[in-house]
């Protein structure tokens, strides 16, 4: 295994033999190791589960989320789970007239109390079908389609609150021999839901005081929103390579013309950061970068400027692109007339304005 890797590393041709090897930490932009970037990798390393990710929700108590984690993983000490661990005892559900074996699906989904409580909330919303397992029940809530962000939150929050209160109802019966009425449990669930909603959406003060009224008001809220995807995309290395080549061409031209105190300006922020040592340089550009750094003693400053802000450079770039060849001007009078006009305006301090058709 080691031999294979050594062979692969030895095949890589060194860009510059006179430069010492440097260690590069690939996950960070600068190439330097940082604890923050290592932490990000460790956080994103594992596979994520859609089912388990539903259990964590802003506003929902961590105590309830951890309870749901155990519930969905069938790790609650109900009798059928204890039997599997060899702990034997009477198994008798709390909810049915003729008690049957206590299991997670029975307590939280198919038992009489569970069915009545789920039914109380589902009847108002509509569109639910019978479920034979708890996971099926939870998923049927979490996958309900809506574009109303308040309803989306409600559909994620309510199942956890129902399960939490069913668990408290069961424990009250098992340990205190007290069976709480279903209506009281439904009222407790609605109370929790309303409190969390008001805390999460503090602008909402006129929510209904009973479940049907509350749901009607939440469903009527303006939940439709526009979504704009904003993402950073990695700059294409060939573009940076072209920018670096162009910069080197300019530097050589300046030396040939007798200039030695240079101010380099580029519209590529990535290139500027690479030269300044703030960003990691791609391997394929190392050779060109080393060539540029050799003459860094003659460079006074390296800065970034948007192309639109430097009208003169912008127009010259367009002239070059249109002609398809390399054009070199040795005096002001050689420049195209429009470019000479840009130079004059620039000298007068006139701002460069660009008109954009909407
Ligand atoms: Zn039962």
Check whether residue 213 and residue 303 sit in a common domain. no
Check whether residue 212 and residue 253 sit in a common domain. no
The Å distance, Cα 85 to ligand 1 centre, comes to: 22
Check whether residue 99 and residue 189 sit in a common domain. yes
3-state secondary structure of 299: strand
Residue 67 · residue 171 · CB < 8 Å: no
| Integer angstrom CA distances of residue 286 from 19, 237, 275 | 11, 12, 11
Check whether residue 81 and residue 205 sit in a common domain. yes
Residue 355 maps to a domain: no
The Å distance, Cα 161 to ligand 1 centre, comes to: 20
Q: What secondary structure letter does DSSP report for 328?
A: -
The Å distance, Cα 63 to ligand 1 centre, comes to: 25
Measured in residues, the chain has a length of: 358
Check whether residue 88 and residue 208 sit in a common domain. yes
The Å distance, Cα 68 to ligand 1 centre, comes to: 20
| Integer angstrom CA distances of residue 166 from 70, 254, 309, 356 | 14, 79, 65, 62
What is the CB neighbour count within 10 angstroms for residue 309? 13
Check whether residue 126 and residue 243 sit in a common domain. no
Check whether residue 94 and residue 207 sit in a common domain. yes
Distance between CA atoms of residues 348 and 340, nearest Å: 13
Domain span at residue 14? 2-44
Tell me which residues have their CB within 5 A of the ion that is ligand 1.
93, 95-96, 111
The Å distance, Cα 46 to ligand 1 centre, comes to: 38
The Å distance, Cα 95 to ligand 1 centre, comes to: 4
Residue 357 maps to a domain: no
Of 173, 193, 220, the residue at which a domain comes to its end is 220
Check whether residue 67 and residue 170 sit in a common domain. yes
Q: Is the pTM of this model over 0.75?
A: no
Check whether residue 104 and residue 160 sit in a common domain. yes
Check whether residue 108 and residue 58 sit in a common domain. yes
Vertex 234 angle, CA 316 and 43, to 5°: 160
Distance between CA atoms of residues 292 and 252, nearest Å: 10
The Å distance, Cα 94 to ligand 1 centre, comes to: 6
Distance between CA atoms of residues 316 and 257, nearest Å: 19
Check whether residue 29 and residue 94 sit in a common domain. no
In what helix (H) or strand (E) does residue 265 lie, and over which residues does it extend? Answer: strand 262-266
Q: In the prediction, which pLDDT does 234 show?
A: 57
Residue 358 maps to a domain: no
Residue 230 maps to a domain: no
The Å distance, Cα 112 to ligand 1 centre, comes to: 6
Domain count, the chain: 3
Of 171, 189, 220, the residue at which a domain comes to its end is 220
Q: How big is the chain by its Cα radius of gyration, in Å?
A: 34
Check whether residue 203 and residue 276 sit in a common domain. no
Among residues 185, 54, 166, 177, which one has the least CA distance to residue 106? 166
The Å distance, Cα 50 to ligand 1 centre, comes to: 30
Give φ, ψ of 82 to 5 degrees.
-65, -35
The Å distance, Cα 100 to ligand 1 centre, comes to: 6
Residue 229 maps to a domain: no
Among residues 158, 117, 168, which one has the least CA distance to residue 138? 158
Q: In the prediction, which pLDDT does 232 show?
A: 62
Stretches where the chain sits below pLDDT 70 are 1-2, 15-18, 44-47, 205-206, 222-238, 356-358
The Å distance, Cα 103 to ligand 1 centre, comes to: 9
Among residues 163, 154, 155, 113, which one has the least CA distance to residue 134? 163
CATH of residue 250's domain is: 3.30.420
Among residues 237, 327, 345, which one has the least CA distance to residue 284? 237
Directed axis angle between helix 182-200 and helix 211-220, to 10°? Answer: 30
The Å distance, Cα 337 to ligand 1 centre, comes to: 91
Residue 6 maps to a domain: yes
Q: In the prediction, which pLDDT does 235 show?
A: 54
Residue 49 maps to a domain: no
Distance between CA atoms of residues 225 and 251, nearest Å: 51
The Å distance, Cα 78 to ligand 1 centre, comes to: 13
Q: In the prediction, which pLDDT does 211 show?
A: 92
Residue 226 maps to a domain: no
The Å distance, Cα 190 to ligand 1 centre, comes to: 23
């Amino acid at each position: 295994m080691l031999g294979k890797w050594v062979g692969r590393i030895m095949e890589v041709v060194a860009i510059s033999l006179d430069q010492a090897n440097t260690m590069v930490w690939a996950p960070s932009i600068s190439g330097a190791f940082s604890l923050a970037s290592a932490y990000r990798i460790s956080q994103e390393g594992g596979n994520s589960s859609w089912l388990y990710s539903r259990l964590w929700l802003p506003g929902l108590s961590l105590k309830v989320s951890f309870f749901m984690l155990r519930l969905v993983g069938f790790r609650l000490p109900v009798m059928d789970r204890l039997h599997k661990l060899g702990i034997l005892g009477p198994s008798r559900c709390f909810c049915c007239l003729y008690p049957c074996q206590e299991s997670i699906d029975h307590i939280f989904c198919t038992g009489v109390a569970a069915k009545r409580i789920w039914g109380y909330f589902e009847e108002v919303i509509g569109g639910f079908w019978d479920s034979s397992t708890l996971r099926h029940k939870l998923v049927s809530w979490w996958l309900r389609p809506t574009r109303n962000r308040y309803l989306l939150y409600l559909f994620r929050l309510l199942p956890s609150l129902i399960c939490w209160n069913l668990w408290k109802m069961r424990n009250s019966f098992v340990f205190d021999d007290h069976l709480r009425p279903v209506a009281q449990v439904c009222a407790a669930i609605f109370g929790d839901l309303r409190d969390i909603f008001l805390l999460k959406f503090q602008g909402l003060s006129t929510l209904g005081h009973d479940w049907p009224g509350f749901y009607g008001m939440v469903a009527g809220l303006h939940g439709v929103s526009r979504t704009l995807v904003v993402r950073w995309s990695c700059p294409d290395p060939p573009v940076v390579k072209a920018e670096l080549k162009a910069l080197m061409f300019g530097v050589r031209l300046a030396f040939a013309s007798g200039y030695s105190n240079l101010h380099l300006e580029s519209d590529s922020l990535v290139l500027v950061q690479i030269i300044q040592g703030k960003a990691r340089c791609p391997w394929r550009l190392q050779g060109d970068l080393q060539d540029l750094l050799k003459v860094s003693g003659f460079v006074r400053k390296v800065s970034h400027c948007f192309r639109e802000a430097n009208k003169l450079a912008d127009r010259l770039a367009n002239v070059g692109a249109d002609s398809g060849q390399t054009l070199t001007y040795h005096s002001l009078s050689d420049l195209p007339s429009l470019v000479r006009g840009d130079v004059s305006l620039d000298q007068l301090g006139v701002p460069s304005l660009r008109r954009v058709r909407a």
